[in-house]
């Protein structure tokens, strides 16, 4: 089954027993990243996996992959992969820092959240659900190019007001030297790419095997926005990050292209980078209105 292949229609309904473990594994994210009571979040993840096992057994879906396994994907395996990714991220503090140790920490924690579910899915479960379709979708349509321009314009109009007036730019370290500015540029871009690899190509894709597209998108947005909260997008940031997460999921479905959603994200993050530099250096020349 490909990253975009839907599960059989009979299991792609919202109000089924599968919603309990799926909701539990996603609601663990705000507990871990927003409330920051990690041990309770881990309990929710364990409950999600255990309840998914129960759902699979009642539905007659084999949890242990076999050559003659039914074509219906295992909820328990997919929920386990989602839980594993969140555990990997929860092992590191997400405070934005720019020193070498922080770069190593983020590389290991965030990298593990993508690599571990992919490797286990592909080589242990022998499932091709998680894929990274960089070249999917073919040539970009006219509206895709228009949206790229729209992302830059909307970011230019909204992000300076958000970061400066709310004061959340202080969640990022002061960047007042060329080296720190360069490190911020690399860090913001790297995390932006990771967002799409994990939240869209892993979380959203796995959830979509069991739920309608809208339901899966909403569930992945819960995890997406919770992570961004701890990263620094606080105050009224969710009013921006929730629509962004939902739109990114929609664009991935519509375009079938990881390259496109990453491009959108990096353009948005380029504006974020510019605003952060501007906010920490208010006396410098800026193109922003705030």
Instruction: Note down pLDDT in tens along the chain; length 290 residues.
Output: 344 444 444 457 888 999 999 999 999 999 999 999 999 999 999 999 999 999 999 988 887 766 655 567 899 999 999 999 999 999 999 999 999 999 999 999 999 999 999 999 999 998 888 999 988 778 899 999 999 999 999 999 999 999 999 999 999 999 999 999 999 999 999 999 999 999 999 999 999 999 999 999 999 999 999 999 999 999 999 999 999 999 999 999 999 999 999 999 999 999 999 999 999 998 787 899 88
Q: Residue 156: what are its φ and ψ, rounded to 5°?
A: -65, -35
- Is the separation of the CB atoms in 56 and 76 below 8 Å? yes
Half-sphere exposure of 118 (CA within 13 A, CB side): 15
Q: Nearest CA to 245 among 259, 231, 265?
A: 265
Half-sphere exposure of 149 (CA within 13 A, CB side): 4
Q: Residue 236: what are its φ and ψ, rounded to 5°?
A: -95, 25
- Is the separation of the CB atoms in 272 and 188 below 8 Å? yes
Cβ atoms within 10 Å of 261's Cβ, excluding its own: 23
Q: Alpha-carbon distance 196 to 245, whole Å?
A: 10
User: Does this model's pTM top 0.85?
Assistant: yes
């Amino acid at each position: 089954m490909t990253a975009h292949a839907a599960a059989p229609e009979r299991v792609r309904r919202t109000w089924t027993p599968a919603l309990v473990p799926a909701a539990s594994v996603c609601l663990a994210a705000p507990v871990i990243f927003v409330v920051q009571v990690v041990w309770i979040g881990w309990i929710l993840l364990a409950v999600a996996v255990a309840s998914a096992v129960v759902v699979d057994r009642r539905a007659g879906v084999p949890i242990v992959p076999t050559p003659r396994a039914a074509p219906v994907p295992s909820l328990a395996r997919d929920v386990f992969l989602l839980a594993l990714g969140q555990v990997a991220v929860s092992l590191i503090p997400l405070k934005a820092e720019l020193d070498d140790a922080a770069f190593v920490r983020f590389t290991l924690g965030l990298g593990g959240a993508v690599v571990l579910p992919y490797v286990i899915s592909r080589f242990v479960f022998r499932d091709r659900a998680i894929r990274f379709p960089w070249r999917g979708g073919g040539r970009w349509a006219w509206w895709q190019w228009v949206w790229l321009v729209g992302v830059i314009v909307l970011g230019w109009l909204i992000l300076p007001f958000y970061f400066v007036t709310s004061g959340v730019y202080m969640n990022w370290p002061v960047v007042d030297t060329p080296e720190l500015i360069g490190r911020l540029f690399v860090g913001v871009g790297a995390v932006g790419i990771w967002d799409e690899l994990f939240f869209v190509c892993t979380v959203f894709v796995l959830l979509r095997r069991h739920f309608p597209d809208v339901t899966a998108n909403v569930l992945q947005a819960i995890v997406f926005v919770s992570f961004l909260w701890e990263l620094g997008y606080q105050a009224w940031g969710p009013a921006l990050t929730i629509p962004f997460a939902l739109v990114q999921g929609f664009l991935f479905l519509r375009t079938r292209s990881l390259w496109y959603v990453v491009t959108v994200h990096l353009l948005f993050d380029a504006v974020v980078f510019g605003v952060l530099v501007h906010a920490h250096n208010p006396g410098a020349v800026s193109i922003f209105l705030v």
